[in-house]
Amino acid sequence: MLANVGTGPSVWHKNYPVAQGDRQSPIDIVPNQTSHDPSLGPVVLNYDHCTSIKIANSGHSVVVDFEDSDDRSVIRGGPLDNPYRLKQFHFHWGVKGCHGSEHTVAGNSYASELHLVHWNAVKYTTFGEAATADDGLAVLGIFLQTGDDHRWLNMITDALYTVKFKGSAADFKGFNPKCLLPSSLHYWTYLGSLTTPPLHESVIWIVVKDPITVSEKQLGKLRTLLFTGEEEDQRTRMENNFRPPQLLKGRRLISRRVDITWQVYEGAPGRRAAVRDGKGHSVDLRGQEPSDDGKEITQKI
């Protein structure tokens, strides 16, 4: 929930009647009530670090914006008919030691949730136009659980002092959000909405099943941000900036299971994941074509 009860989710319907609509987000995902669609392909991400522009405090969250005038950073595949361009990403979180994700899984919450927001530039000329269309937006949701430090999240948390106040912004270039993704991208998908006003019912949601791990210290840095501007007398810490789950109202929630091929390379740290699509082609989960060398171990997820 957003911190100010008087202006939070419980009263949004007064100014935004769509808040009580038929495809509102987030939702509670109940795995044993999902449909499995074997024809649904993998999601493929192609992100270019050169497209990140700035980091900002929107008054709802910390936001990293991207250059979206071309297709250098896109999401494709899965439930999407064409590539969607990356516009921005942001986070939702709670108070220390408490839940903060927007989507829940069988009633259980995660500490935080990352949203990567994309728009359909094939059918629409601007992000604003796409945001009001039924198929205008695609949001990739990533759960965050607490544990060890996440190396790459430090690049964001170390920059938060520059955007402490609502409306502040700073340059933030050379960041590739692939580093914030889990190694496997098996997912749930459904038709939903934006989770903050104006709550447009324009989102194809792709919620990744596996979380990433971040530390409580890193989440604590997010909580140093303020909902309020520098010139305001009252300073309100940015906590509980999430909307609670909404009713599914008969919508279909689809589960995507994938065959993961781990390619292990001699002399290379870690491992690399590839997906066998419906035609038997191998596509790297993070948007790269895997090479022919290395041993392969395949498992179903």
CATH code of the domain containing 27: 3.10.200.10
d(CA 284, CA 218): 29
Q: Which domain holds residue 292?
A: 258-301
Same-domain status, 165 and 192:
yes
How many C-beta atoms surround the C-beta of residue 48 within 10 A? 16
Q: Which helix (H) or strand (E) holds 272?
A: strand 272-276
Which stretches of 182-286 are DSSP H helices? 216-222
Same-domain status, 170 and 72:
yes
Same-domain status, 138 and 253:
yes
For residue 192 the two structure tokens come to 């939903």
pLDDT above 70 (res 4): no
- Contact between 218 and 154 (Cβ < 8 Å): yes
Provide φ and ψ at 171, rounded to 5°. -60, 140
Nearest to 184 by CA among 101, 275, 105, 268: 275
Same-domain status, 170 and 270:
no
Would you call the peptide bond into 198 cis, given omega within 30 degrees of 0 as the criterion? yes
pLDDT, tens only, 240-275: 999 999 999 999 999 986 543 334 434 444 444 444
Same-domain status, 274 and 147:
no
pLDDT, tens only, 63-112: 999 999 999 999 999 999 999 999 999 999 999 888 999 999 999 999 99
Which stretches of 22-180 are DSSP H helices? 127-130, 154-157
User: Residue written as tokens 């969607």?
Assistant: 84
d(CA 223, CA 221): 5
Write down which residue in 241, 257, 273 finishes a domain: 257
- Contact between 225 and 163 (Cβ < 8 Å): yes
Average pLDDT over residues 273-292: 42
pLDDT, tens only, 191-243: 999 999 999 999 999 999 999 999 999 999 999 999 999 999 999 999 999 99
Contacts of 108 (CB under 8 A, 6+ apart): none
> What total of structural domains would you count in the chain?
2
Catalytic residues: 60
Nearest to 102 by CA among 252, 248, 240: 240
End-to-end CA distance of the chain, in Å? Answer: 32
For residue 17 the two structure tokens come to 């009647």
Confidence category of residue 277, pLDDT binned at 50, 70, 90: very low
Same-domain status, 281 and 212:
no
Same-domain status, 24 and 150:
yes
Q: Which helix (H) or strand (E) holds 117?
A: strand 112-119
Same-domain status, 169 and 293:
no
Same-domain status, 86 and 157:
yes
Same-domain status, 231 and 300:
no
Same-domain status, 203 and 275:
no
Q: Indicate the pTM of the whole model.
A: 0.85
- Contact between 64 and 73 (Cβ < 8 Å): no
Same-domain status, 186 and 242:
yes
